[in-house]
Amino acid sequence: MGHCILTVDDSSTMRQMITFTLKGANFEVVEAGDGVEALEVAKGKKLSLIITDVNMPRMDGITLVQRLRALPEFKFTPILVLTTESDASMKQKGKEAGATGWIVKPFSPEKLLDVVNKVI
Amino acid sequence: MSDAMAQFRDAFFEEATELADGMEATLLSMDLSAVEVEDLHTLFRAAHSIKGNAATFGFPEVAAFTHKLESTLEPVRQGDRPLTPDLRELLLQGVDLIRTHLYHARRGESLPVKEVQAQAALIARLQEDAGAPLPPMPSAPTTAAAKSVTMKGGRGYSIRFEAPLDAFRRGVNLERLFRDLAKLGTLQTWPDLSRIPPVEQLDPEDCHLAWDVRLETTHPQMDVEEVFEFVAEGDNLRIQPLAPEGSVPTLGEILQTEAGVSPADIREALSQQKRLGELLVDMGKVQPEVVNKALDQQQKKRNQAEASTVRVATEKIDRLVNLVGELVITQAMLAQASQQSNTLQGEEQMSAALLQLDRQTRELQERVMGIRMVPVEMVFSRFPRMVHELGKQLGKDVELLMEGQATELDKTFIEMLVDPLTHLVRNAVDHGMETKEERRQSGKAAMGSIALRASSRGGSIHIEVKDDGKGLNRDRIYQKALDRGLLAPGSRPSDEELNLLIFEPGFSTVEQVSDLSGRGVGMDVVKQNIRTLGGRIEVESEPGRGTLIRLVLPLTLAILDGLTVRAGDETYVFPLASVLESFQRQAADVQTVKGDREVISLRGEFIPVIRLQHLLGVVGHRDAAERTLLVLVESEGRRAAMSVDELLGQQQVVIKSLETHYKRVEGISGATILGDGRVALILDVPGLMRQEAGMAAAGA
């Protein structure tokens, strides 16, 4: 207990699904609708994990990862990016930006928890 | 490793080898000035499949290397990078390296240092050419996950993992990784700190850690790979299955598990160990070339041992299984019919079942034979590359044309044909073909051509190697034969006889034996192998126009559809394939020409009549005019009407070679044993026609 996870996605349905699953597994969850909002939400928080979508308005997920890594408090925090099957290169881009790993969409709640448990 | 897994692996190796062969064939057939996009896609797909499968079946080194090729091909396929002749060479080398990888992976060996260096050099050149580094391999493709469901794990794995440099900066929890691994089974780890640089060069945020891990587990390899999903890149993760239960462990393995010696130390010790050949060379006991030759020989033996399996399409096997099922039903029908054999119904049932049995037996026979038949392409496929390389080495422009690759031959034949054909093709390029300069002078196209043709002719298979080079120098052959005492002084051999002398042991008219053709087997081996197969060699050569060497191979294992006929007191079999029709002879249709030659006018065409009895010297023949049956046959575009005394029927016969038991007889391709135990000769229609033509010429 005690892990707080930030989930960033412009699709509220996706955010709800992730939040619902994580809360069901006793994680604390905070949400953000894009990169800019995510940086604001994250500020001053002790986060165990950040899960972010890639394609978002205002600030995309890759930029968000780079910005987070530049902040001392998130330098070593696990970050997962949500990628799609069709865009395999996104895994690589995420990695280069400093992401810990990825979750390929579409995913099941079980898969989500599997991956989360892999990095926390 | 379980049997099931081993089977999958075999399938993987076979498929990967085929894919590599396909890549090579595609590369060689491409016209670089007008590249077909579909070819590029084919190349890419092949590389992609090898990579994906290699990763799935636990050969990360193969996967990592193939991935480099795939990445090279990606911009080419997208039209962002031209396929230059240089790049083609590099890709061809890449295909070779894939094969080398597969070869070693199949034996559970890692790539020899020499090859690793070659690989590194090749990758460097590919990158240099591309101007940008190739991306490292992403983790195992997701499609592999679905396949792994059916795969069972073995005893466990030996894992080498080098953490990526940016592991810390990416928030990777390495401890978590080992916890997840430990969940899969019993874990033993040896950290390897040797990659950590001296303190003054050390960036504490870089990760230089590596581990050797021994994991005893029954989980499939995919599960292990999944643990490393986010940190596997390029070849920093190597997973090898542990040797199967009951096999003798290596000394290194025992020292590792029992004495805790680290795998890194063992690797280093092994790298200092010298091979037998090197030691002997160092001791000055043998020359390096001798060792290389011995290694080649060993390799050959190894290949032979491997070639003793045959790959059969599943449909062929399915059909066999179905047939056996049908046979069981027929047997039941027969059993039932025999119980009421005295009734009319029983009798009918019996004959119906027998008819069915006849059909099924025949089909079974054919299909079982079919299993051993493989397309001649298996041999042919190696030649485009060989001709390409030879041409390059010798500075000759040579194109290779191939025909009839689908012609099927017994597998034994295919294996025995490799050496002779290799030699013939090599010879054609090296000796048969002139240099560009010579060709220009004699007014020929600069590009020479070599044709490889396979075809099925009646009872035999013809394989031809034809070049449009300078042709055989018969004067020189004659002189050489005199020198070597192969011909008596003053003898006057025919052209054909002279041509065939090139297959005599130690016979070479080339003053300077080049290092290409002068090596390994000589032309006499060609003759030997073909003779072993019960075949013969024919040579046609025209000065300045080229040489055609034809290997005529019998189908000793074949079943032949035949038409049995009676001529005099003898029974003969015509291969049904060469029979067009049979009809009653009308005296008015036959005309006599040139004394005693007969021709028959059939639908406006004059066809020579061949009197079989006369030709074969059969006794007990009646007067020609009384024979009223003609069998119209065709071979090599020519027709003839063979007169016989009686048509006995149509049946399948098993061909037995006459040559092995007696000797070669002109006009006869073999013999068979009939249902009543008597021997009938199988007629060689083209041979008979030649014989008849010869007699006609002699008579005229």
Contact B467, B448 (CB under 8 A): yes
Q: Is B605 exposed, middle or buried (0-12, 13-18, 19+ CB in 10 A)?
A: exposed
Between strands A28-32 and A49-53, the pairing is unpaired
The residues, ordered by sequence, that sit 6+ positions from B11 with a Cβ below 8 Å of its Cβ are: none
Between chains, do A76 and B135 touch, taking CB under 8 Å as contact? Answer: no
Residue B18 lies in a domain: yes
Pairwise CB contact (< 8 Å): A92 & B138: yes
The mean pLDDT value for B41-49 works out to 83
Q: Note the pLDDT of residue B153.
A: 45
Q: What is the CATH number of the domain that holds A35?
A: 3.40.50.2300
Q: Work out how many domains chain A is built from and give that number.
A: 1
Section B206-214 average pLDDT: 88
Query: Does residue B94 or residue B242 have the better pLDDT?
Result: B94
Average pLDDT over residues B206-216: 88
Q: What angle do CA B648, B651, B656 make, to 5 degrees?
A: 105
Instruction: Identify from B74, B230, B233 which residue to disrupt to test chain A contact, counting A C-beta atoms within 10 A and taking the largest count.
Output: B230
Nearest to B168 among A76, A91, A99 (CB): A76
Mean of the pLDDT values across residues B559-565? 81
Same domain, B395 and B544: yes
CB B144 within 8 A of CB B50: no
Residue of B nearest to A65 (CA): B170
Residue B421, domain extent: 377-554
Cβ atoms of B507 and B523 closer than 8 Å: yes
Interval B372-408: pLDDT, tens: 778 888 888 888 888 888 888 888 888 899 988 888 8
Measured between beta carbons, the chain B residues lying within 8 angstroms of A79 are: 170-171
Q: Could you give the percent of chain B with pLDDT greater than 70?
A: 86
The whole-number pLDDT of residue A77 equals 93
pLDDT the model gives residue B133? 53
Contact between A3 and A120 under an 8 Å Cβ cutoff? The reply is yes
User: Which is nearest to B87 in space by CA: B149, B50, B44, B130?
Assistant: B130
Residues in A closer than 8 angstroms to B139, CB to CB, are: 91
- Cβ neighbours of B138 in A, within 8 Å: 88, 91-92
Q: Which residues pair with B573 in a beta bridge?
A: B564, B682
Q: Which residues pair with B671 in a beta bridge?
A: B656, B681
Of residues B139, B171, B180, nearest to A78 (C-beta):
B171
DSSP, collapsed to helix, strand or coil, labels residue B373 as strand
Mean pLDDT of B44-67: 79
Could you tell me if B412 and B447 lie in one domain? yes
State the Cα–Cα distance between residues B105 and B209, nearest whole angstrom. 26
Tokens of B401: 């044309």
Give residue B247's pLDDT. Answer: 61
Nearest CA distance, A100 vs chain B (angstrom): 5
Residues B395, B367: one domain?
Answer: no
Domain identity same for B568 and B509? no
Question: What is the span of the domain harbouring residue A24?
Answer: 4-119
Which among A79, A88, A118 has the least Cβ separation from residue B176?
A: A118
Q: Which of the 8 DSSP states describes residue B588?
A: G
Same domain, B197 and B114: no
Amino acid B143: pLDDT? 37
Question: Which tens digits make up the pLDDT trace of B342-371?
Answer: 788 878 888 888 888 888 888 887 788 777
Question: Is the confidence at residue B146, as pLDDT, over 50?
Answer: no
Chain B residue with Cα closest to A69: B169
The domain total for chain B is 5
Residue of A nearest to B71 (CA): A89
pLDDT at B559 over 60: yes
Residues of A in contact with B135 (CB under 8 A): 92
Q: Do A95 and B229 touch (CB under 8 A)?
A: no
pLDDT given at position B518: 42
**Chain B environment of A98 (Cβ under 8 Å):** 166, 169-171
pLDDT of B138 above 80: no
B467 in the same domain as B534: yes
Output the CA–CA distances (angstroms, integers) from residue A98 to A57, A75, B119, B246, B700, in the order listed: 20, 9, 30, 45, 94
B617-636: average pLDDT: 68
B396: helix, coil or strand?
Answer: coil
| CA–CA dist B32, B43 (Å, integer) | 14
Find the CB nearest A100 among B138, B227, B230: B230
Do B169 and A99 make contact, defined as CB atoms within 8 angstroms? no
Contact B176 A120 (CB under 8 A): yes
Instruction: Report yes or no: B400 and B452 within 8 Å, Cβ to Cβ.
Output: yes
pLDDT confidence of residue B303? 64
Which pLDDT band, with edges at 50, 70 and 90, does B459 fall under? low
The letter for the amino acid at B51 is K
CB A66 within 8 A of CB A98: yes
Section B214-226 average pLDDT: 85
Nearest residue, CB atoms, A91 vs list B138, B170, B227: B138
The whole-number pLDDT of residue B246 equals: 59
HSE-up of B110 (CA within 13 Å, CB side)? Answer: 14
Identify the closest residue of chain B to A97 by CA–CA distance. B170
Residue B574 and residue B549 share a domain: no
**Which of B139, B142, B171 lies closest to A79 in CB terms?**
B171
Find the closest chain B residue to A91 by CA distance. B138
The gap from C-alpha B177 to its chain's centroid, in whole angstroms, comes to: 46
Decide if pLDDT at B565 tops 80.
yes
Best A52, A119, A120 residue to mutate vs chain B (most B CBs within 10 Å):
A119
Exposed/middle/buried for residue B132 (C-beta within 10 Å: 0-12, 13-18, 19+): exposed
| B149 pLDDT above the threshold of 60 | no
Angle between helices B3-29 and B37-56 (to 10 degrees): 160
Together in a domain, B534 and B386: yes
Question: Which residue of chain A comes nearest to B230, CA vs CA?
Answer: A101
Nearest chain A residue to B173 by CA distance is A119
Q: Which pLDDT value is given to residue B391?
A: 86
- In whole angstroms, give the CA distance from residue B516 to residue B350: 66
- Cβ contacts of B169 on chain A, cutoff 8 Å: 69, 75-76, 98
Contacts of B203 in chain A (CB under 8 A): none
Give residue B523's pLDDT. Answer: 77
Closest CA to B47 of B128, B115, B101: B101
CA atoms within 13 A on the CB side of B378: 21
Residues A101, B142: C-beta atoms closer than 8 Å: no
How much is the pLDDT for A48? 93
Number of C-beta neighbours around residue B152 at 10 A: 14
| pLDDT at res. B130 | 61
As a whole number, the mean pLDDT across chain B is 79
Classify residue B46: in a domain, yes or no: yes
User: Higher-confidence residue: B695 or B360?
Assistant: B360
What is the rounded CA–CA span in Å between residue B54 and residue B9?
A: 9
pLDDT tens, B310-328? 667 777 788 888 888 888 8
Q: Is the pLDDT of residue B94 over 90?
A: yes
Between chain A and chain B, the number of residue pairs with CB atoms below 8 A apart is 46
Mean pLDDT of B181-185: 87
Whether B546 and B568 map to the same domain: the answer is no
Count of beta carbons in the 10 Å neighbourhood of residue B680: 19
Q: How far is B171 from chain A (nearest CA, A)?
A: 4
Q: Tell me, what CATH number does B172's domain have?
A: 3.30.70
Alpha carbon distance B400, B28 (integer Å):
10
Q: Does B118 or B514 have the greater pLDDT score?
A: B118
Nearest-by-CA chain A residue for B168: A76
Residues B408 and B414: their CA atoms lie apart, in Å, by 9
- Whether residue B303 lies inside any domain: the answer is no
Concatenate the DSSP letters of all residues of B213-250 into one string.
EEEE--S-HHHHHHHTTTT--TTSEEEEEPPPTTSPPP
Per-residue confidence (pLDDT) for residue B352, from 0 to 100: 86
CB-CB under 8 Å, B171 with A100: yes
Do both B447 and B484 map to the same domain? yes
Whole-prediction pTM: 0.42
Higher pLDDT, B507 or B223: B223
Cβ separation of B169 and A76 shorter than 8 Å?
yes
If one counts every other C-beta atom within 10 angstroms of the C-beta of residue B652, the result is 15
Residues of B in contact with A92 (CB under 8 A): 135, 138
The shortest CB-CB distance from A104 to any of B142, B227, B230 is to: B142
- Evaluate whether residue B135 is within a structural domain: no
Please report, for residues B386, B549, B578, B619, the alpha-carbon distance to residue B666 in angstroms, rounded to integers and kept in the order given: 37, 20, 17, 18
Structure tokens at B648: 């006995």
**pLDDT score of B588:** 65
- Residues in chain A where the model's pLDDT stays below 70: 1, 85-87
Distance from CA of B174 to the nearest CA of A (A): 9
Among chain A, residues having any CB pair with chain B shorter than 8 Å are 69, 75-79, 85, 88, 91-92, 95, 98-102, 104, 118-120
Domain end (from B209, B241, B272): B272
Task: Give the model's confidence band at B139: pLDDT under 50 very low, under 70 low, under 90 confident, else very high.
Answer: very low
Residues 6+ apart with CB under 8 A from B551: B417, B420, B421, B462, B463, B464, B530, B535, B536, B537
Are B76 and B134 spatial neighbours (Cβ–Cβ below 8 Å)? no
Residues B262 and B191 in one domain: yes
Cα nearest neighbour of B175 on chain A: A119
Of residues B431, B360, B355, the one with CA closest to residue B396: B431
Complete DSSP assignment for A47-101: -SEEEEESS-SSS-HHHHHHHHHHSGGGTT--EEEEEETT-THHHHHHHHHT--E
Using CB atoms within 10 A of its CB, is residue B345 exposed (0-12), middle (13-18) or buried (19+)?
Answer: exposed
Q: Domain holding B389: CATH number?
A: 3.30.565.10
SS3 B648: strand
B223 or B522, greater pLDDT = B223
Q: Check A85 against B142: CB less than 8 A apart.
A: yes
Q: What is the dihedral of CA B520, B524, B530, B532, to 10 degrees?
A: -90
Distance from CA of A10 to the nearest CA of B (A): 24
**Contact check, Cβ <8 Å, A69/B142:** no
Task: Please judge whether A101 and B229 are an interchain contact, meaning their C-beta atoms are less than 8 angstroms apart.
Answer: yes
Same domain (yes/no): B355, B388: no
Q: What is the pLDDT of residues B70-90, one digit of tens each?
A: 888 888 888 888 888 888 989
